[in-house]
């Protein structure tokens, strides 16, 4: 399956960006973010999101990110944004000169969670693979684009039918940086069916 950039559409178009067949660049604006309620209690819903729409129930989307993040909370990555209360994202979020957070956020019905692990602040590139199996989803990451590690498996309550998925970049504080997205590809679902414990009897 070919990833066609001509099928992409903006939710909140940024002021500065570049889109070609091979590369997408986004220059973030300060005070842009995606988050809903949990723990912090605030709601931020103004990050630029570039997505395509699909009814395909089984597929994987791969993208390589490169980023010049340098300020706390700067981030870019893969996203499935359905509406302000229902979305998921996987990204690296800059913290300081020592470390940053590699993690994912899942937002169902207006409440976000955040699962993270600390990685070295020197990391400035990461691959992501976003996979769909009907209304269940998986986000994986890779340093080389070949060997992927699971970050998150989740269920999206509003992700049963038509969805939108793609990329995003934002700077929640007073910052701006360039995020570059390349090697975008759609494939058959690389998240294989579970071959362990059988489902409970219905």
Asked if 94 and 102 count as a contact pair (C-beta separation under 8 A), the reply is no
What does the DSSP assignment read for 10-45? EES--SEEEE-SSEEEEE--BT--EEESTTT--EEE
Read off the CATH number of the domain in which 110 is found: 2.60.120.200
Three-state SS at 181: strand
Q: Is the pLDDT of residue 191 over 90?
A: yes
pLDDT digits (tens, 9 = 90+) for 73-131: 999 999 999 999 999 999 999 999 999 999 999 999 999 999 999 999 999 999 999 99
Whole-number pLDDT of residue 24: 98
Q: Residue 198 — very low, low, confident or very high, per pLDDT cuts 50/70/90?
A: confident
Range of the domain at 54: 5-187
Of 78, 32, 10, 76, whose CA–CA distance to 175 is shortest? 32
The reply to whether 111 falls in a domain is yes
pLDDT digits (tens, 9 = 90+) for 12-39: 999 999 999 999 999 999 999 999 989 8
The reply to whether 199 falls in a domain is no
Locate 41 and state its tokens: 């209690």
How many domains does the structure of the chain reveal? 1
- d(Cα 108, Cα 87) in Å, to the nearest integer? 7
Locate 3 and state its tokens: 């990833």
Whole-number pLDDT of residue 196: 75
- d(Cα 176, Cα 27) in Å, to the nearest integer? 7
Q: Is the pLDDT of residue 1 over 90?
A: no
The reply to whether 198 falls in a domain is no
The reply to whether 170 falls in a domain is yes
Sign of CA dihedral 84, 86, 90, 93: positive
pLDDT digits (tens, 9 = 90+) for 45-63: 999 999 999 999 999 999 9
The reply to whether 93 falls in a domain is yes
pTM: 0.94
The reply to whether 193 falls in a domain is no
Q: Is the pLDDT of residue 202 over 70?
A: no
Q: Is the pLDDT of residue 200 over 90?
A: no
* Percent with pLDDT over 90 in the chain: 89
């Amino acid at each position: 399956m070919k990833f066609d950039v001509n099928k992409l559409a903006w939710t909140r178009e940024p002021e500065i960006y570049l889109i070609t067949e091979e590369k997408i660049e986004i220059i973030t604006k300060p005070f842009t973010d995606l988050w809903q309620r949990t723990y912090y209690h605030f709601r931020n819903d103004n990050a630029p999101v570039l997505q395509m729409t699909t009814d395909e129930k089984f597929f994987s989307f791969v993208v390589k990110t490169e980023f010049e993040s340098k300020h706390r909370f700067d981030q870019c990555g893969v996203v499935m944004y359905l509406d302000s209360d229902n979305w998921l994202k996987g990204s690296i979020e800059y913290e300081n000169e020592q470390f940053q957070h590699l993690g994912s956020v899942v937002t169902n019905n207006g409440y976000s969670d955040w699962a993270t692990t600390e990685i070295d602040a020197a990391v400035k590139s990461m691959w992501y693979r976003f996979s769909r199996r009907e209304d269940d989803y998986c986000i994986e990451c890779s340093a080389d684009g070949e060997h992927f590690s699971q970050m998150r498996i989740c269920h999206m309550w509003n992700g049963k039918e038509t969805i939108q998925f793609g990329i995003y970049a934002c700077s929640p504080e007073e910052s701006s940086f360039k995020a570059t997205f390349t090697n975008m590809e759609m494939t058959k679902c690389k998240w294989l069916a579970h071959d362990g414990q059988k489902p409970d009897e219905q």
